[in-house]
Structure 1
Amino acid sequence: MTFDNIRCFLTAAEEMNFTRAAQKLYISQQTLSGHIAKIEEEYGCKLFNRTPPLSLTPEGIIFLEKAQSLSNMEKELRKELVDLRDFQNGNLSIGITRSRGSTYLTPVLSKFHEIYPNIRLEVVEGSVSEIEEALLKAKVDVTVGFPPQNRKNVESLVITREHVSAIIPPSIMDSQLIQYKYKLLPDGRKVDWMLFKDCPFVSVDSRFEAGKPFVTICETLGISPQIILETKSVDTALQFCLAGLGILVCPEVFINAYKNKTNNQPFYIYPWDDSLSKDICVNYLKSKYCSMATRKFISMMMNAYQASKP
């Protein structure tokens, strides 16, 4: 049995269709069947039930788990050998949510590429749960975001802390809060949020992490907000907020990416208390080989956000 045999089996098990698997591997279906037949012959068992729909046999299910481990071990071996030869020719894959990518990665990856131009970079975007799954299945080298809920095999290094704030465009301030404007301006860190209760809001769908703090705050204050617009994207919500449609409650860090796009247009930021703040970490698997490229990236992220290892 070879790693080519294992790779063919894993692709067939993923696709559950020999034709699609062969196309994905750029080989003929006959060649694919030959690879799987070699494994079945070596272990004296059938791995697939060939009658439609294609499925794994009990032996195939057991082999799948071990084959995935062997495949991961082979990938790690290759990375270690590349590191020993010349780490600058390696790869680095980073998982992050779409809304945080430009905020956290742009300055660091620009510098990283300048120093290590031969490292191939891949940014894998998805929801919080999707990037967590990608990390736990070793499909990415690191993630940048919340510490995963399943932290048994994960090392999380805190780089910064996200604070939840109300972002108020000037049109709302001048039309809805004019009587409080000068009371609010001197100290944006200590504000009675009940002053905003009758204002219009734009919000992020509460099924997404960025939308949950707004729901929590409304429940804490006991208010029913006037929501003008709801969206699934923080970026979209910010654009409508800055256009004057309503107040947006979200992690303050998201506004940073827009500061250079607003032509110094004034807006007002009022933080909630620290109860909804969350750590943002660089996360990686303890059991997975941490390549030189990965270690350099982690170091640059820590330095960029002036954090230190716990």
Structure 2
Amino acid sequence: MVNFLNLEYFLVVAEELNFTKAAKKLFISQQSLSCHISKLENDLEVELFNRTVPLTLTPAGKSLVKNATKMLDLKKQSVKELVDIKDFKRGDLYIGISHTRGRAFLPEILPLYNEKFPSINLHLFEGNSKELDSALFRGNVDLIVGMLPFNVENVECVPLCNEEILMIVPDNILAKYFPDSYGIVKRKLEKEVDISLLKNCPFLMVNAKNSVRIVADEMFKEKQIKPNIILETESIETVLALSVKGMGITFYPKTLMNNKKLVFDENTLLGVNIYQLQYNKTHGTLAIGYQKNRYISQAAKEFINIAKKKYNAIT
């Protein structure tokens, strides 16, 4: 009979293709890990690895990687379902969310959730949009919170509220790049935002895996603009903080902008222009996503219910 622990250890070795590295990752001795893999091979009556340098998977090993992942995922879902059937007093909830979104969203939801369900263990996975999509696809999280669309197959989406990406333009940038037409350009932008006017200005951008950056890149492409990007970073808070200090133009979600405690106070906005964009994809929806083909635990359902009530979910 195949042991689940042996399967878990096998997948780590298959990922690392090195017994020493895999043993360190699992916090066990290399000898102990070798015994687990040998036991699995004996139970299945096949060799899973070619003991070469570097280590490689046999055809049987490659096949087991695919199926072991499915078996362990099914085991995880089954355990969740059995816990719900027994009693909804214990369990785990794995939530995927971006760093900045988490700072604005989670304080509104988790205190209420924890007060109502104190025995549910909460686990956060923080990453960019693509990392969150991948975590949901792999079953590493129960649900993710972010802007639609989620680029994962078979996702059920629960809308929470409207979202909008704003453009942040410091006054000093306009004065520097339009010394003879500052007033004219500013009035034009107030009347209708045309990013083509700003094509030579410096931009501060989050990296290409962030949903805000993806939308901005599409907008630049549609306008046939190659933006003057002077800085890229993982942190959307960093680009906002630098933008309000006058370093360049950036983009930022409206719901996060409303939470000014994130990175600045009211006085910091003096000399900063905040523009709404006339571009369809800058207007979207903040939502929760979970996979349709996976068991959705009671813990996850209750989290969604609290979030919907808090954000007055749109239909």
Report TM bin, short chain: 0.7 to 0.9
Question: Which of 177, 183, 189 is residue 179 of structure 1 equivalent to?
Answer: 183
1:139 alignment partner in structure 2:
140
Give the Cα separation in 2 of the matches to 1:204 and 1:283: 26
Show CA shifts across 1:30-61 (max 9, x none). Answer: 33223222332233211111122111110111
Q: Is it true that 1:249 corresponds to 2:274 in the alignment?
A: no
Cα distance, 1:263–1:147 mapped onto 2, change above 3 Å: closer
Contact 2:167 2:249 in 1 (8 A): yes
What SS does the aligned partner of 2:183 have? coil
2:276 alignment partner in structure 1:
271
What SS does the aligned partner of 1:88 have? coil
Cα distance, 1:29–1:174 mapped onto 2, change above 3 Å: closer
Q: How many aligned positions are there? A: 304
2:312 alignment partner in structure 1:
306
Cα distance, 1:253–1:199 mapped onto 2, change above 3 Å: farther
In the TM superposition, residue 5 of structure 1 has moved relative to its aligned partner by 2.3
In the TM superposition, residue 284 of structure 1 has moved relative to its aligned partner by 0.8
Show CA shifts across 1:243-274 (max 9, x none). Answer: 23333233323323335653322454221125
Contact 1:197 1:223 in 2 (8 A): no
In the TM superposition, residue 183 of structure 1 has moved relative to its aligned partner by 6.0
What SS does the aligned partner of 1:64 have? helix
In the TM superposition, residue 95 of structure 1 has moved relative to its aligned partner by 1.3
Contact 2:10 2:37 in 1 (8 A): yes
What SS does the aligned partner of 1:287 have? coil
Show CA shifts across 1:171-213 (max 9, x none). Answer: 668887873699689xx7x534369638944320562432344
Give the Cα separation in 2 of the matches to 1:117 and 1:235: 31
Give the Cα separation in 1 of the matches to 2:280 and 2:295: 36
Q: Which amino acid aligns with 1:28?
A: S
Cα distance, 1:219–1:141 mapped onto 2, change above 3 Å: closer
Task: State how 1:43-62 maps to structure 2 within 5 Å.
Answer: 43-62=44-63
Give the Cα separation in 2 of the matches to 1:125 and 1:248: 22
Contact 1:162 1:278 in 2 (8 A): yes
Q: Which amino acid aligns with 1:253?
A: T
Q: Which moved more, 1:194-203 or 1:16-25?
A: 194-203
TM-score under structure 1 normalisation?
0.83
Contact 2:193 2:275 in 1 (8 A): no
Give the Cα separation in 2 of the matches to 1:3 and 1:107: 38
Aligned-residue CA RMSD in angstroms? 3.1
Contact 1:238 1:248 in 2 (8 A): yes
In the TM superposition, residue 167 of structure 1 has moved relative to its aligned partner by 2.2
What SS does the aligned partner of 1:207 have? coil
Give the Cα separation in 2 of the matches to 1:288 and 1:70: 13
Task: State how 1:61-80 maps to structure 2 within 5 Å.
Answer: 61-80=62-81
Give the Cα separation in 1 of the matches to 2:130 and 2:23: 30
Q: Which amino acid aligns with 1:287?
A: N
Question: Which of 218, 241, 246 is residue 239 of structure 1 equivalent to?
Answer: 241
What SS does the aligned partner of 1:105 have? helix
Give the Cα separation in 2 of the matches to 1:264 and 1:49: 63
Contact 1:174 1:181 in 2 (8 A): no
2:161 alignment partner in structure 1:
160
1:40 alignment partner in structure 2:
41
Cα distance, 1:226–1:243 mapped onto 2, change above 3 Å: same
In structure 2, list runs of 5 or more residues that go unmatched. none
2:292 alignment partner in structure 1:
286
Give the Cα separation in 2 of the matches to 1:117 and 1:90: 10
Contact 1:102 1:257 in 2 (8 A): no
In structure 1, list runs of 5 or more residues that go unmatched. none
Cα distance, 1:62–1:197 mapped onto 2, change above 3 Å: closer
In the TM superposition, residue 124 of structure 1 has moved relative to its aligned partner by 0.9
Give the Cα separation in 1 of the matches to 2:149 and 2:4: 33
Q: Which amino acid aligns with 1:300?
A: I
Give the Cα separation in 2 of the matches to 1:223 and 1:30: 58
Q: Which amino acid aligns with 1:275?
A: N
Q: Which amino acid aligns with 2:69?
A: Q
